[in-house]
Structure 1
Amino acid sequence: MRFILQVLISALALWVADLLIDGFSISGSILSTANADGTMNSILTYLIVGLIFGLVNAIVKPIVKLIALPAYILTLGLFTFIVNALMLKLVEWISGITPITVTIDKFFWDAILAALIVSIVSFFGSLLTGGREKAENKR
């Protein structure tokens, strides 16, 4: 249940990043064009990208964080934005095998800004749903 909630929050965060950043866009057609509703198609697109993003964060990100631990220490945690931008670039690459297109124009600025917005929206989304408190109580 917690993973599904995290996918929903990620989808919302990616939608906000898509709205605010010109160089970051998510598009695609999940439903067939014969009976496709534009709103439902958009919602499904963001949910699938949120699922991909959640899987990348659950599987790949811990490994990258472990390898990049010295960079985290040297930058006092600011390297987190670079790692989050790399995770978005990985989502962009993975989406290439799906009917969904995630596009990041300029790696440094667009990916960093998108990662920052996704992090902020995800943080507040988790606070509103109580996800952070539940995760801390399990530790």
Structure 2
Amino acid sequence: MAAFLVRTVFTGFALWIASLIVPGIDFVGGSNNWEKLGIVLVVAVIFGLVNAVIKPIVQIIAIPFYILTLGLIHVVINAFMLEITAWITRNTTHWGIEVDDFFWSAIFGAIVISLVGWGFAMIMKEPYE
């Protein structure tokens, strides 16, 4: 349970950093800071579920593209997972994450989220699982 909470907080922080850096990615909803923090954490949980359930299926289907693009398709798949998360939050609630367009907001957002996640992995010497 602790590993899930740590991973969720790190994912939420990565999403928040992406919303600050990337034009076209914004969090919608929340009138005060506590509500916005709750929205970020809920979106992080949804993003984690999308990555756990849908991403492996897409990666298996995309094996030929991994070979063809020497792995660069991974950025596009991560952007697709960000778009799916935005679609889920947009169509089920009136708050969440909003991605304006796939090219370049989602692509650049996926790169920023990956870099922030990589930075957290470098900081964490011991696995938090």
* Superposition TM-score, scaled by structure 2 size: 0.90
3-state SS of paired residue (1:87): helix
Counterpart check, 1:121 vs 2:122: no
SS in 1 for 2:96: strand
Q: 1:53 aligns with which of 42, 47, 64?
A: 47
Residue 14 of structure 1: aligned partner: 15
Alpha-carbon shift at residue 3 of structure 1 (Å): 2.1
AA aligned opposite 1:61: K
**SS of 2:127 mapped into structure 1:** helix
Aligned twin of 2:107: 112
Distance in 1, matches of 2:35 and 2:78, equals 26
Q: How far does residue 127 in structure 1 lie from its aligned partner after superposition?
A: 2.5
Does the CA-based 8 Å contact 1:9-1:126 persist in structure 2?
Answer: no
1:134 partner SS: coil
Q: Which has the larger radius of gyration?
A: 1
AA aligned opposite 1:4: L
Matched with 1:103 is: 98
| Alignment equivalent of 1:70, drawn from 50, 64, 73 | 64
Q: Which runs of 4+ in 1 moved over 3 A?
A: none
Give how far 1:80 is off: 0.5
How many residue pairs are counted as aligned between the two chains?
A: 127
Query: Are 2:43 and 2:96, in contact at CA under 8 Å, matched by a contact in 1?
Result: no
Q: Secondary structure at the match of 1:60?
A: helix
Please give the alpha-carbon distance, in whole angstroms, between the structure 2 residues aligned to 1:101 and 1:55.
15
Q: 1:99 to 1:106 in 2, by over 3 A?
A: closer
Is the CA contact 2:25–2:97 (under 8 Å) kept in the aligned structure 1?
A: yes
User: Secondary structure of 1:77's partner?
Assistant: coil
Sequence identity percentage:
38
Tell me, yes or no, if the aligned pair for 1:23 and 1:105 is still in contact at 8 Å. yes
Structure 2 Cα separation of the partners of residues 63 and 20 of structure 1: 29
Write the distance in 1 (CA, Å) between the matches of 2:46 and 2:124. Answer: 21
Unpaired runs of at least 5, structure 1: 30-35
SS in 2 for 1:102: strand
